[in-house]
């Protein structure tokens, strides 16, 4: 019987939005598994930790679609292949649906959906002859709704459907496309919930495991999806939410 292994040693992986939170945890997990990891952040100071952290940091605003394309081309040119693209960069909002202005809607859609799509497209074009592996970080809010997250929910639902569509369209080119759906995770995005004891109590009451997740709780799913252990898996969404969506 062959030895079961994640087998990520020497693979080249790009993680967007890796400056903190879920993205940083995933980037560090890949690094610890022996991969050659690139991580992006929007500011020089946001990627400073990568310099001494074994991750190759790049400043990237994913809303600048051409810059994302150029980064992927740079990595492929330098290493010969980009084995996995992790689309993690995203933004949220607590704006009531009736209060949205066009610029805020555009920012959420451009970051959470359009940038993700164009990065997938650029990666596919760069790797078409070799095949590839895409992991899109979506959210359970693409599956269920919550208050004050209308546009965010919409973009994450779109990411889940895009994941399925790309998996179907690109399977013949030896591409796999899957998604991770985090529940409520202890990051900057959930700071507003943590700041109010009553909200935290309500949130924990809705989670069967009775706690908010940690960024490290997502690392195992990312390692699995990036490895050959998930080689017959595409178009799927892995839900990691402490049981939030099972009731």
According to the model, what pLDDT value does residue 157 have? Answer: 98
pTM for the model: 0.95
Specify if 91 maps to a domain.
yes
For the chain, what is the mean pLDDT? 95
- Over residues 144-148, the mean pLDDT reads 93
Predicted pLDDT at 140: 98
Whether residue 7 lies inside any domain: the answer is no
Question: Domain for residue 229, yes or no?
Answer: yes
Q: Look at residues 107, 104, 168, 115 and name the one whose alpha carbon lies nearest to residue 137.
A: 115
> Considering only CA atoms, which of 4, 22, 12, 74 is closest in space to residue 221?
22
The whole-number pLDDT of residue 199 equals 80
Number of domains in the chain: 1
Q: Is 1 domain-assigned?
A: no
Answer yes or no: is 82 within a domain. yes
247 in a structural domain: no
* CATH number assigned to the domain comprising residue 109: 3.40.50.720
The single residue of 38, 124, 152, 244 carrying the catalytic annotation is: 152
215 lies in some domain: yes
1: confidence class by pLDDT, cuts 50, 70, 90: very low
Residue 232, judged by CB atoms within 10 A of its CB (0-12, 13-18, 19+), counts as: exposed
- Whole-number pLDDT of residue 226: 98
Task: Let me know if 152 is a catalytic residue.
Answer: yes
Closest CA to 212 of 245, 183, 246, 247: 183
Query: What does the pLDDT read at residue 4?
Result: 54
Structure confidence at residue 37 as a pLDDT band (50, 70, 90) = very high
Model pLDDT for residues 120-135, shown as the tens digit of each residue: 999 999 999 999 999 9
In the chain, helix, strand, coil percent, each to 5? Answer: 50, 15, 35
Q: What is the DSSP letter of 3?
A: P
- Structural domain including 45 reads 12-241
Average pLDDT over residues 45-61: 96
Q: Is 6 domain-assigned? A: no
User: CA-to-CA distance for 122 and 152, rounded, in angstroms?
Assistant: 24
């Amino acid at each position: 019987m062959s030895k079961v292994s994640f087998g990520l040693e020497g693979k080249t992986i790009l993680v967007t939005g890796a400056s903190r939170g879920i993205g940083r945890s995933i980037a560090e997990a890949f690094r610890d598994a022996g991969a050659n990891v690139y991580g992006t952040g929007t500011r020089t100071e946001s990627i400073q930790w990568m310099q001494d952290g074994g991750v190759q940091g790049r400043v990237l605003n994913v809303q600048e679609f051409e810059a994302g394309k150029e980064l992927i081309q740079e990595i492929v040119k330098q290493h010969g292949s980009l084995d996995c693209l992790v689309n993690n960069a995203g933004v949220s909002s607590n704006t009531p649906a009736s209060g949205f202005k066009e610029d805020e809607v555009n920012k959420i859609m451009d970051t959470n959906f359009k940038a993700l799509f164009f990065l997938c497209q650029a990666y596919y074009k760069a790797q078409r002859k070799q095949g590839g592996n895409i992991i899109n970080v979506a959210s359970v809010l693409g599956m269920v709704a919550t208050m004050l997250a209308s546009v965010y929910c919409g973009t994450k639902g779109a990411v889940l459907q895009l994941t399925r569509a790309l998996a179907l369209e690109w399977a013949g080119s030896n591409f796999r496309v899957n998604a991770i759906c985090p529940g409520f995770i202890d990051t900057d995005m959930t700071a507003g919930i943590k700041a109010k004891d009553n909200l935290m109590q309500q949130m924990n009451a809705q989670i069967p495991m009775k706690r908010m997740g940690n960024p490290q709780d997502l690392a195992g799913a990312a390692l699995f999806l990036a490895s050959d252990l998930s080689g017959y898996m595409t178009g799927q969404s892995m839900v990691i939410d402490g049981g939030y969506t099972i009731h």
